[in-house]
Copies of this chain bind each other. A is one copy, B any other.
Amino acid sequence: MNDKILLDHGSGGLATRQLIEDVFLEHLDNPVLSRMEDSAILDLPQGKVAFTTDSFVIDPIFFPGGDIGSLSVHGTVNDLAMQGAKPRYLSLGLIIEEGLELETLKRVAASIGQAAKVAGVLIAAADTKVVGKGQADKIFINTSGIGVVPERIDLGIQRARPGDVVIVSGSIGDHGAAILLARSGLPFHAEIKSDSAPLADLVHQALSAVEPDAIRLFRDATRGGVATVLNEIALASGVEIEIDEGEIPVDPDVGMVCELLGLDPLYLANEGKCVAVVSPEGASRVLEAMRGTSVGRAARIIGEVKEAKGGPRVKLVTRVGGSRIVPILSGEPLPRIC
């Protein structure tokens, strides 16, 4: 077998079949996928189903703490988890540039398989397309996901209300800083790792710790970071959100990179962190439940929801006691961050 991806590998003929057998079935095989029909047949329990999609175009495709394969599993699993759903099935749509090393594709497939296993999801459907050299950049991955929403769960970005507590599940900006550093080639004393990780268990533990109604919403702080997510919540709920700079967990190395480069960690992407808005009564139990999970050990209350007297907005109380508005930006500081 050739050691590079050829146009023929995306043709739907023998070469595609060979590629699937050689690269994907080893890592992704399961009874649903291996039927190799036009669509997978799933048995879902009755009730509400969450459905989401995300494409991943991250550059570089391998980075400290993860790669485009694991990221594409975590990203979609997390989008399902944010609605309280238990992630069950993923689909996988690959667009590959002709000439990609087969070895690279195998590493990505192995990483997808491993991440799916850890997150407890099955790859139920897959599709591979190959485009000519220069018509894509190495590999793009779309994952769509299906999850099952337990009864009585009703989370929503419009549900924050004055008095609620704002929790972040851990230190912020790790993913953005890791990619920035990997891309820049800057010499730096430490390697910063992406926080790419599945959040479904953290969400499940938090929801189990209190009456379902006590948690208003979860939102993972991906592109645009915590600042963007908080602004979206403020807008959708018609509230002001006040956060306390001194309470926001930032890894010292991430803080240093941000200072060197003039970036604000509040706007850097995360791939394993979420914001939760919780009733004041439920806050301590939710915090404790999050801290009991491997990805939530550094969870922290960072602020509070207030009435939107000056309109929906996000206000930061600085370490020295001043305050400033945290605006919604036009864009992420970094393209192809996920």
- The CB with the most chain B CB atoms within 10 A, among A12, A219, A224, is that of A12
A330 sits at the interface (CB 8 A): yes
Q: How large is the interface on A (under 10, 10 to 19, 20 to 34, 35 or more residues)?
A: 35 or more
Stretch at the interface among A35-43, A61-69, A247-255: A35-43
Contact in complex: A48, B53 (CB < 8 Å): no
Contacts A224-B13, A228-B12 given; does A38 touch B146 at CB 8 Å: no
CB atoms of B131 and A53 under 8 A apart: no
| B residues less than 8 Å from A182 (CB atoms) | none
Which of A21-29, A101-109, A135-143, A311-319 is the interface stretch?
A135-143
Tell me if A15 is interfacial: C-beta within 8 Å of chain B. Answer: yes
Residues of B within 8 A of A137 (CB): 131, 135-136
- Flag the segment in A112-120, A121-129, A286-294, A299-307 that touches B: A121-129
Contact B144 A136 (CB under 8 A): no
Q: Is the CB of B14 within 8 A of A331?
A: yes
Residues of the B chain whose Cβ atoms lie less than 8 Å from the Cβ of A136: 57, 135-137, 140
Chain B proximity of A107: nearest CB distance (Å):
21
* Residues on B with beta carbons closer than 8 Å to the beta carbon of A46: 46
Contact among B44, B127, B331 with A49 in the assembled complex (CB-CB below 8 Å): B44
**A332-B13 in contact given A41-B149, A134-B134 (Cβ < 8 Å):** yes
In this assembly, does A258 line the interface, its C-beta being within 8 Å of a C-beta of chain B?
Answer: no
Contact call B53/A38, Cβ cutoff below 8 A: no
Nearest B residue (CB) for A78: B38
User: Does A157 belong to the interface (CB within 8 Å)?
Assistant: yes
Is A282 among interface residues, defined by CB-CB distance under 8 A? no
Tell me which residues across on chain B come within 8 A of A323, comparing CB atoms. none
Looking at the complex, which one of B16, B125, B135 makes contact with A144 (CB distance below 8 Å)? B125
Q: In the complex, what residues of B have CB within 8 A of residue A169's CB?
A: none
> How far is A132 from B52 in the complex, measured between Cα atoms in Å?
25
Find out whether the CB atom of B129 lies under 8 angstroms from the CB atom of A55.
Answer: yes
Given the complex, which residues of B lie within 8 Å of A245, measured CB to CB? Answer: none
Tell me if A279 counts as interface (CB < 8 A to partner B).
no
Minimum CB distance partner of A89 in chain B: B51
Report the minimum CB–CB distance from A165 to chain B (whole Å): 20
CA distance A218 to B242 in the complex (A): 57
Q: How far is the CB of A224 from chain B (nearest CB, A)?
A: 4
Q: Give the residue of B52, B129, B142, B329 whose beta carbon is less than 8 angstroms from that of A40.
A: B52
Chain B residues, CB < 8 A from A40: 50-52
A328 within 8 A of B: yes
Q: A14-B328, A51-B124, A328-B13 are in contact. Are A7 and B335 (CB under 8 A)?
A: yes
Can you list 17 pairs linking A and B with CB atoms under 8 Å apart? A7-B331, A7-B335, A8-B330, A10-B335, A12-B332, A13-B329, A37-B82, A38-B80, A41-B49, A51-B89, A51-B125, A57-B136, A93-B144, A125-B144, A134-B134, A135-B137, A142-B144
